[in-house]
Structure 1
Amino acid sequence: MQTLRNFIGGASVDAASGATLPVVNPATGAAYATSPASGPEDVDRAMTAAASAFETWGSTTPKERQEALLRIAQALEDRAEEFVRAECDNTGKPIGLTAEEELPPAVDELRFFAGAARVLEGRSAGEYLADHTSWIRREPIGVVAQVTPWNYPLMMAIWKVAPALAAGNTIVLKPSDTTPASTVLLAELAAEFLPPGVLNVVCGDRDTGRALIEHPTPQLVAITGSVRAGTEVAGTAAAGLKRVHLELGGKAPVVVFDDADIASAAEAIATAGYFNAGQDCTAATRVLVAEGAYDDLVAALAEQARSTRTGMPDDPDVLYGALNNPDQLARVAGMVDRLPDHATIEAGGGRASVAGGEGGYFFEPTVVSGLRQDDEISQTEVFGPVITVQRFADEAEALRSANGVQYGLSSSVWTTDHARALRMSNKLDFGVVWINTHIPFVSEMPHGGFKSSGYGKDLSMYGLEDYTRIKHVMSYTGE
């Protein structure tokens, strides 16, 4: 049984209470490690370490921060196999796909923010008042508290850590209680290149996260998680007037017009819907299709589902692995079980049988047609490998249905009509709009949502700016 520990002040330490939580491999349903069940004393210790480290780290030059991030990126790339194995043991993800699709972007994001650290911009200094010169300082915020989810533990940790470090902040990060392994490993690796206390990781459950947010030290709280979690974080942080950065749930509309290439669209949608078992807030799982293409797209999606495989991490032919935990499996199954009578399960619909994974949390690739706008599964994030399909009559109805949810994170439009694509991209109320594709990300472009999907941006220079504060300095220059 592996023992994971907190990483505080440059050292691996147990929780003060000695209490632990089991860490389960979702592909088997068996515990393979323990992690600390941290309490307020552990959070306070981490905050003290981060505050002390900020006294020097906050004054480092952009060049020094860049060099540290570049070294972390190189070390991560050099130890890719070790990190992929840790991630897959903890999440049940396919090993090959994780190595190809998750590790390289994570390395790239570290390198992007290493460069971005040296190109922060501000307004031009100048004399905006006679005999006075003004300029802008963009400064680190100080200590930031971060909470990351279980769907992409390593990648989401890097999305949070890289811009915060690049801006000169110090960090106390809490990973999900079900997936702490790769985040702890990242902190241990980063400690080879960062001063003690700059990056601290405290493991634990919701109570640990609450203690993190309630602590008086951090001036910014950043979380990727559910709408429920984001609402709680925002409410708790408000008591201390802390800034909040929220990347929350999604219900991405995939709007397919009848002039789209149906076969290509179905293949791309299935990949973007089932990747990571649909456990992605941008997953292509809510398909809206024009009347004229409806039957063809439903048939094509059903065929894609039947040819998509789920299975164990070491199986090279699977697209996705297990759901993260038994509660998530029950949630996904429950939403399918509660489908209305007018819905039709075209493929899948139940728990998947996987050789070697009899205790794992696997669910079949599923397609459900005949959905209506007010159905539970049309309005609520499933976070599982379930693609739903509903029809629309015209562009106006497509927009009403697409925007008619509480979420506003991501969306896509599938059409060969360029003018229509631009009209839709203008009117879709989502932070990301893809045209004839769905789910690619690049480090240079921002990711973040509207409405209940939160506020603040990950990735890009906008993400870096979120971890800074603006100071106006004015000097009297008269005689």
Structure 2
Amino acid sequence: MTTALRRLRNYIDGEFRDAADGRTTEVVNPATGEAYATAPLSGAADVDAAMAAAEAAFPAWRDLIPAERQKVLLKVADRFEERAEELIAAESENCGKPIGLVRSEEIPPMVDQIRFFAGAARMLEGRSAGEYMDGFTSIIRREPVGVCAQVAPWNYPMMMAVWKFAPALAAGNTVVIKPSDTTPASTVLIADIIGSVLDELGHSRGVFNVICGDRETGRLMVEHKVPAMASITGSVRAGMQVAESASKDLKRVHLELGGKAPVVVFEDTDIAKAVEDISVAGYFNAGQDCTAATRVLVHESIHDEFVAALAKAASETKTGAVDDEDVLYGPLNNANQLKQVKGFIERLPAHAKIEAGGEQVGEKGYFFAPTVVSGLKQDDEIVQHEVFGPVITVQPFSDEKQAVQWANDVEYALASSVWTKDHARAMRMSRSLDFGCVWINTHIPLVAEMPHGGFKKSGYGKDLSSYGFDDYTRIKHVMTSLDG
């Protein structure tokens, strides 16, 4: 007997709808490898409808005083708390994530981030008015950019949706957001939450729209004439394609792309504490995090001791079922990602050594063992390219100069960390590391008040913080004559 698949639908102008042409795609639970739902495979007609709804809703939403937009977002945050168990269940099924970790590590920061941007809505700052030419006064207006086309990734589909819609709505923009085709469930649920709040407070539900689909759907969104801005969190390849598509009509683009975070461990580090923190930061969410601590550079004097301790930590790290409270991470998100991670291991050069893990685990689903690889050279594929899996590489360095050189010698520049008791050295390293974030004696904590975003092929624009809020605004100069 076959279990009927749940039907997910687009959310356009306050209504849940199938794709106009009826096309669907199956959604698979990565913990089981089995389909549990279908989602629309949206095409041009669906994109047109969503953009029209957002465009129609924009003037009234833009013209609200900030306090009214704040009320909406604060109520959304409250509703996230009230419906937390529904969100947790949806995200766990979406991604195979451990239920307890979604509850403790994702719901609280998401609620906090929504409330942060609710406050930011009332802090639209500009330079003070002044006279810069005799007889004239200049003022600065900070305004929303318009309709925002947003594409969220599959590694944190729920949280990344929050990072996108919260600043956009707070600034007065309207939104059309597309979740990944492998993880649409939680974003569709978010649409139900936001739509109900907009309705209760008397605002157009066209302010927030969700369309499901694949890369072609995303391309149609970015190339559509209506959006003033395109925002994507995804791969470098996807970001380049979005930038190219958006350039055809000069849309503003916000890109948060890949990472290859260096973790620089000096000889004065407390090895046991560093290994404990780095293993969690490397394996959390199955290493499917652009900031994951997966590229360790350790001083040669403590290299062997560090590798042995890290391999032991890997062997004690558990992956498995969503309801197992001892599990640190769940499966890789999809079959293609499992194939990619396996490929990196299969292509390791002869001089590399697998110290722990290195294989798929479990009889079903896309689980991969916590892995440590040593003996690598700087130009090896696994050092230079993002694995996006539970794989930590380790290289020995001889001195601070070499550590900086190797740390910066990748195409990505999102996040990094330095581990040392020497304050002056930590300050030198934070200056020299060419990454958007440098953590010192820690790795991966994020707060709503501080920006997240990188350089080079990690993209441009910031998420979180007032800087992320500013990205969703435009600046207008107004000049008036004092002659009346």
- Give the TM-score normalised by the residue count of structure 2: 0.98
Q: CA deviation at 1:352?
A: 1.1
Structure 1 Cα separation of the partners of residues 192 and 83 of structure 2: 12
Structure 2 Cα separation of the partners of residues 136 and 235 of structure 1: 31
Partner amino acid, structure 2, of 1:237? A
1:405-435 deviation digits (Å, cap 9, x = unpaired): 0000000000000000000000100000000
SS at match of 1:28: coil
Matched, 1:36 2:40: yes
Matched, 1:86 2:114: no
Structure 2 counterparts to residues 65-464 of structure 1, below 5 A? 65-194=69-198, 195-353=204-362, 358-464=363-469
Q: CA deviation at 1:55?
A: 1.6
Structure 1 Cα separation of the partners of residues 313 and 21 of structure 2: 50
SS at match of 1:58: helix
1:414-471 deviation digits (Å, cap 9, x = unpaired): 0000000000000100000000000000000000000000000000000000000000
Q: How large is the Cα RMSD of the aligned pairs? A: 0.6
Q: CA deviation at 1:193?
A: 1.8
1:86-123 deviation digits (Å, cap 9, x = unpaired): 00011000000110001110010000000011012100
SS at match of 2:206: coil
Q: CA deviation at 1:338?
A: 0.7
SS at match of 2:367: coil
1:336-365 deviation digits (Å, cap 9, x = unpaired): 111111111000010012xxxx22000000
Structure 2 Cα separation of the partners of residues 15 and 111 of structure 1: 33
My pick for the range that moved more, 194-203 or 378-387, is 194-203
Structure 1 Cα separation of the partners of residues 456 and 147 of structure 2: 27
Structure 1 Cα separation of the partners of residues 473 and 191 of structure 2: 22
Structure 1 Cα separation of the partners of residues 436 and 31 of structure 2: 33
Structure 1 Cα separation of the partners of residues 375 and 106 of structure 2: 34
Match of 2:201 in 1: none
Structure 1 Cα separation of the partners of residues 112 and 185 of structure 2: 21
Structure 1 Cα separation of the partners of residues 136 and 197 of structure 2: 42
Match of 1:60 in 2: 64
Structure 2 Cα separation of the partners of residues 296 and 425 of structure 1: 25
Partner amino acid, structure 1, of 2:103? A
Q: CA deviation at 1:478?
A: 2.4
Partner amino acid, structure 2, of 1:6? N
Gaps of 5+ in 2: 199-203
Q: CA deviation at 1:472?
A: 0.2
Structure 1 Cα separation of the partners of residues 391 and 421 of structure 2: 27
1:306-363 deviation digits (Å, cap 9, x = unpaired): 000000111111000000001000100110111111111000010012xxxx220000
Partner amino acid, structure 2, of 1:324? N
Give me the identity figure in percent.
Answer: 67
